[in-house]
Structure 1
Amino acid sequence: MTSPTTPGLSLTPPPPGNQSSVAMIARQAIVNAQQVVVGYELFNRSRSGAAHTAATDVILVFTALSHAGTEELVGKKLIFVNCTHESLSGGHLELVDPDKVVLEIPPLGHAAAEEVATRMPILAGLRERGFHLAFNHTVLQSAYAPWLPLADYIKLDLSVLAPDQLAVLISYAGRHSQAELIAEKVETAQQYDMVSSQGVQMFQGYWFARPSLVEAKLLAPSQASIIELINQVRKQASTDDIEETLKKDAGLAFNLMRLINSAGFGLSREVTSFRQAVMLMGLKKLFRWAALLLTASRAGGTPSSVGQTAVVRGRLMELLALETLPPEEADQAFVVGIFSLLDVMLSMPMESALGLLNVPEPVAAALLRREGFLGDLLTLAEACESSDDAVFDRTAGLLHLTSQQINFAHLQALAWADHLGD
């Protein structure tokens, strides 16, 4: 297996920065004839947003799927995203479930026949992989005839097409393609009546919904942790080593579990452990995910004190769980510890934070109500931090752990967390 590489990727950690960031994303609904939302077109509306490039296409989808806010950006609806031709050959598209994504393909500035032919293998390959392709009305011109069979959707812009042009294009598309037609920039009832009476079944525009702004919150890992992960994958490190790196950064762990369990990733079963996530994703996808995360986390840095506390908790609870449980069950103790401060890191109630992730019931019970064996372990870990002797003694007794066992495990956890950058 060849080690993956990313040209021009700097593997030197940048200066420290903040742990969390917010991107402004606009989404506009696309509805069917019954005015049921079938998908959302996404737009980058961050003030710091750069010009539309290959990188921004991918980061927009990535942000939508990794979004850490209480409101789902896209849920199980289709994601329509504007693309550049440069972004279409990027391996980052392998990180999403093709069936959930509609790639809006721009026309070529001057459609020379050879340029249209040159793009064909990439477009056909995307379609074969399961991506939906959307084009604007120019795909109905003779110069783009090779592309037309690939069209799942054709967008008709009512702001630039006259009624007589629309009638001709709708009729031609119906005879020569299998694409569904989407009337966009629909702003009046008259426009809606005109295109729907001619057979158009999907609509987008102010008449139905204006673009709504959503603050897409991201829990940004430290860039040093991302770089460590990238280097490990390039060296084809073991699953154990990669799992250890994920466990050292709460933001890294959260992002991976959030993405891999999102509807956009397309898995049919829930992933509840880091080991599962690593094995299911594989080195190639893991590398691309980490490289994209590095690009998206404009302001990364060393983990905050809250993140550091979460890491220590996770390791302490894992070590104590190993006194009585097999390793695969002790992993749940680590998950409880590292996610026990998600409410603080995301500035939302724990119940809302857990709603972003798929965690086993014992993990949820421990985090929300301090119930069960894992709940007792978390209570004990918190007592170690607060030096609450009464709670420490009570929970240590419940767990049948001695002070010596707990103190030794706590020292080991602190030492382990201190070596994050080693």
Structure 2
Amino acid sequence: MSQAVLITREPVVNKQRSITANRLVVHAPSVPVAVAALNALAENWPANHTVFVSLGRLVPTAELMGWQMPANTMVEIPAPALAYEQTKALIPQLQEAGINLCLSWYQPGMQLPEGAEFRFVLADANKLPTPAGFPGISIATGLADLDGFATAVKNGYDGASGWFFFKGVKAAKELAPSHAQIVRLLNLVRNEAEVKEIEAALKLDVALSYKLLRYINSPAFGLMVEVQSFRHAVTILGMDKLNKWLSLLLVSASKDPLAPALMQAAIARGRFMELIGAAFVEKREVDNLFITGAFSLIHVLLGTTPEAVLGEMTLPEPIIDALLRGEGIYRPFLDLAIACERLDPSALSEQIAKLKLRAEDVSKALVSAVAFADSLQFG
């Protein structure tokens, strides 16, 4: 069996539709191999939210204690694994180490080990419509769309895990005026307009100026000095780099309650593409990879169609090829990013093979991208 470890991920949101955790599913041939892969990710680990860690279909055993678990880790215990003595022996070790537990694949009436405490319980809301009697905070899985989420919450679920919020958004035919203003701003930058002209456009919306400076001065950007104005930003960053950060303004423009979850997903995609694709494109194109990933969900964020929003923007042809035509040099990296969001390791393995990448490099880029997206404040 291959020793490659693949990691896929999905967000966990609460009833208010805010991200409360990131869920990583580790697909490995054995627990020791999974442990080695997880230990290798220590420097890149997302720290802003709790991280649920699932070993997929592996039976969790005491070998998992070889992982130097970050403080924000929560280990998933699949309900069927409770039939194994090795898993029963692991639970008190995790609890003694201060690691919270999450029970997945839960079924009502099942016998739980004495002394086992589960902070969260994941269950398929299609099979268990109501979470009555769950031994922990209930998290719905298996939701198809936003309507499914609304129903699950109405029936008593405390939150949900998955990408259901990508579906069920009603699309408008054209951009809202506030979104159109940001598109105009981006076009000015892309077309290398005079700084004073761009500054004038920014001054029409003070909130945009504030957001832009907050993003640029965030720890994720890593600047040694504080940027205090747009003109200062141009001096330090240059127009090409600034274009990437102005793109964040558009990604973060939605006022929908689910916007923060969508923003995290979009920016994580962009950062992942930037990290994994940097070795394949010229240096000046790396920011275009970020924009491709971030804009791959822009239509969902703004409640419109891809054609409506992208058709108004001055974007490089490779970005348009990837997002509207499903082709071109950036598309394989977007396909890889999307594969990381599915629970199917075979689909991810196929995309990794197409690009001739190493699985460990993809995992590192994935957790780094999630950490980066989480480090930005949306609001």
TM-score, normalised by the number of residues in structure 1: 0.35
